[in-house]
Chains A and B, each alone.
Chain A
Amino acid sequence: MVFQVRIHGRGGQGVVTAAELLSVAAFAEGRHAQAFPSFGSERTGAPVVAFCRISATEIRVREPVMNPNAVIVQDTTLLHHVDVFSGLVDGGYVLVNSAHSLESLGIGDLTGGMTASRIVTVPATDLALEHLGRPVPNIVLLGGLAALTGIVSLPSVVDAVRQKFHGSVADGNIAAATAAFELVQSQVEERVDAQAG
């Protein structure tokens, strides 16, 4: 079983780095992982997509991720321009970078029929500003993805970040990702409880 993640963002938001770090985290857990960008000479601000496949066995396929198990939306301004949910599998996950609720984002039509516990928002840019001092949401969202999907553990994400970054950049990102992990985890628990109740 291959778990496929698609990350949408804009050039400069670290979309490709997020896919890379996710693959490094999965690799650290002993799995095969394949991360790659939607190849292009994209400039800062342009819509960008990156992909990550995670599997217990060798990954041979090279096509772009058409049917993601999880979608990360790093920038809500993309929601009404790019079909970010295209091909999302039944029971897939969606993580949106926003300080607003799903309802206020007005994407109900786009995500109709999804289980509430599988689609969450997290204020990743705010958390990045708070802990890192820069509005870069990519790594923060990986903390959220770990909580939402359990596809990788938070410690693996932290280790991946430490391999790539050092000093205050690593510390800030890890603090923000940890905060995102906790926020998403509590949201998911609440909703699971609500659905159960």
Chain B
Amino acid sequence: MGAVPVKFYQVGSFAVGNRLLDPDLASVQSDPERANSLTSGHRACQGCGEALGARYALDAIMRATKGQMIAVNATGCLEVFSTPYPETSWRLPWLHSLFGNAPAVATGVAAAMHAKGRDDIRVVGQGGDGGTVDIGFACLSGMFERNDDVLYICYDNQAYMNTGVQRSGATPPAARTATTQTVGPEPGNVFGQGKDVPRIAMAHEIPYVATATVADLRDLEAKATRAMEFRGARYLHVLVPCPLGWGSASCDTIKVARLATQSGLFPVFEAVNGEVTSSTKIRHQVPVEEYLKLQSRYAHLFRPTRRDDVIKKLQAMADRNIERYGLLEPELAPAVPAAMSNEPVEVA
């Protein structure tokens, strides 16, 4: 279950005013004593969704583990922008080995901790979609299959951004990348079968799988925190817009992520032991077009000629998600006190 939505009637929105909030409901980031795992001064681009997501997720985990955690990083933007030698933005024990082996390296750290009787020290592996969905996939699946005591977080920005925006197995259909250019009769990425790693993770029946976005950072914190309540393999898939690769405005990162969820293109849900246990409902459904048109990687769908055929196929994908995860179903009446349910908490 994700974060409890907090509705502020003073402003009539879901915006979080931590000053007014019960400290238990406040976000980790609002805590001046937070870990600051990924501290400021790193080299990420303006509006980087990955830096934002990593900071929120790791600080939440640091709080959940009382600072007893080790992070293992795949090669990628997160690794490069955080550690240009001799500087590092990491304020936790952090290891980068290779592009394709972060889940296995994390397994090794966890095995070492277990052998030393230090199961109190928790291990997080993390990487981008390339390091997770493509080159690190075998190691990820092996870690899941063995149910190693590792939380793996994929920060999905849907292409190889670190090397200059090339297509990955997570790149959506029709999107422009440097290796799926907007030329020829079918510009952009092909319509393949997709590679839905959260569902592949669920197929391993690991204890906990969740998706999140940087549009709902308290939900991300809540899921990162909840993941640490489980032992064994856990997977958190976070959609993190990349202004550079997506061709979106730096100031629109949160907005683009929100439209990904509100269109249904990116379903936000949790699964325990291979079964979906909750999904975050769409509050204001939007057609995919609203999401697409903020990103120049889809510009070829709108000009010089509008490609309704392609937009329709993308809308069908969103509709499929909405149906599969029940993203538009009315919420059931809460059987538990409001503060413990997904229902909005009213703050007078």
- Complex contact flag A–B (Cβ < 8 Å): no
Binding site for A on B (CB under 8 A): none
